[in-house]
Chain A
Amino acid sequence: MTDRFRQRAAASLAGLALTLAAAAAASAETAADGRRSGFDFMSRETQGMQRDDSANPGMLWVRDGEALWSRKAGPAERACADCHGDAKTSMRGVAARYPAFSEEAGRPINLEQRINECRSERQGARLLPHESQEMLGLSAYIAHQSRGLPIAPPEDERLTPFRDKGRAFYEARQGQLNLSCALCHDDNAGRRLAGAPIPQGHPTGYPLYRLEWQGLGSLQRRLRNCIVGMRAEAFAYGAPEYVDLELYLATRAAGMTVETPAVRP
């Protein structure tokens, strides 16, 4: 073997190693089990919009929520911050665990319902309506504290029957089009529906800024969207059926990273 040949061989081996490393890095972005966030299905421009906090419109609501967090409410004249302190530490990882079981309700509740539970029980304040700017602000601010953490649904035996109900709802055909959630988001995820990619339906970044909505919206708004799209009758906001489904979706997405506030097309 000449020296020159040896050099060339070494160089091409190094090149191969680089290619392999690049391939490994690319596949590390998608989980080993093939689960992918809706983020991966977006255009580079929309991804950039989500990544840059000064270009992500969801941050406007996060800032609103930050102000609401320390604003006193109700006859108790108490703010969230008076009990919970600095949300940056006290709320870290909290949204990643919701929906969770509530003793008061005797069933799982989602983050929005938990906020309202606090408002009625501790603050004596009026309940925040679903999709109101205040509710979106507070829930975005709280969920934002979990950004970067894995979704971690609680291991609570009491949740099991509700999770099963959520799963049954996810798999059941419904509506005039006779579709189920699973039919699109399990069987046909990654393919296209009327030109738009079908994501796997993981709730990683709610509440999120949807370009189509030109505003922030909760997971339930998105679920209603899909249900109406299947030409089925949508439940009212806060319906237990949604919370059960949210619970199942959280379990399905367990371990995936929280992105709140996400941006989606």
Chain B
Amino acid sequence: MAGALINVPKEIKRGETFEIKTLVRHPMETGYRRGPSGEAIARDIINRFACTYDGEEIFRAELFPAVAANPFIAFSTVATQSGELAFTWTDDAGHSQTETVKITVA
């Protein structure tokens, strides 16, 4: 797992609802496919995504098979103060990736 695109507005007003868009690279292997010699390819999908705002969890999602590779997740929250958004994706193989973005609330 490597690489994520995160998009938050540059300027956010206090009390305003803003959208956070995330896209992470992951093959999202379904577990239903077979390799060239017929062996089953183990399932490896991102099963959990969470976002914290200054340490407080504001969004969490459980993911299941049938989500395409490189999942795109968008959600909204209310701007309360300038701070840090941290995003964590965790997959079946136990790998997790965390990205952080600083936001400025005027």
Contacts and interface: CB of A to CB of B under 8 A. Distances in A.
Chain A interface residue number, banded: 10 to 19
Interface string B58-73: 0000000000111010
Most buried by B among A53, A57, A64: A57
A215 B25 CA distance: 10
Contacts of A59: 5
Interface in B55-100: 68-70, 72
B6 to A, nearest CB: 7
A63 interface: yes
A60 B25 contact: yes
B21 A57 contact: no
Contact of B5 (A54, A211, A214, A215): A54
Interface of A is mostly: loop
A55 interface: yes
A57 B72 CA distance: 9
Chain B interface residue number, banded: 10 to 19
Nearest to B69: A214
A53 B27 CA distance: 20
Interface string A47-59: 0000011110101
Contact of B72 (A53, A55, A214, A215): A55
Given A54-B5, A54-B6, A60 B23 contact: yes
Interface of A: 52-55, 57, 59-60, 63-64, 211, 214-215
Q: 4 closest Cβ contacts across the A-B interface? A: A54-B7, A214-B69, A57-B70, A60-B3
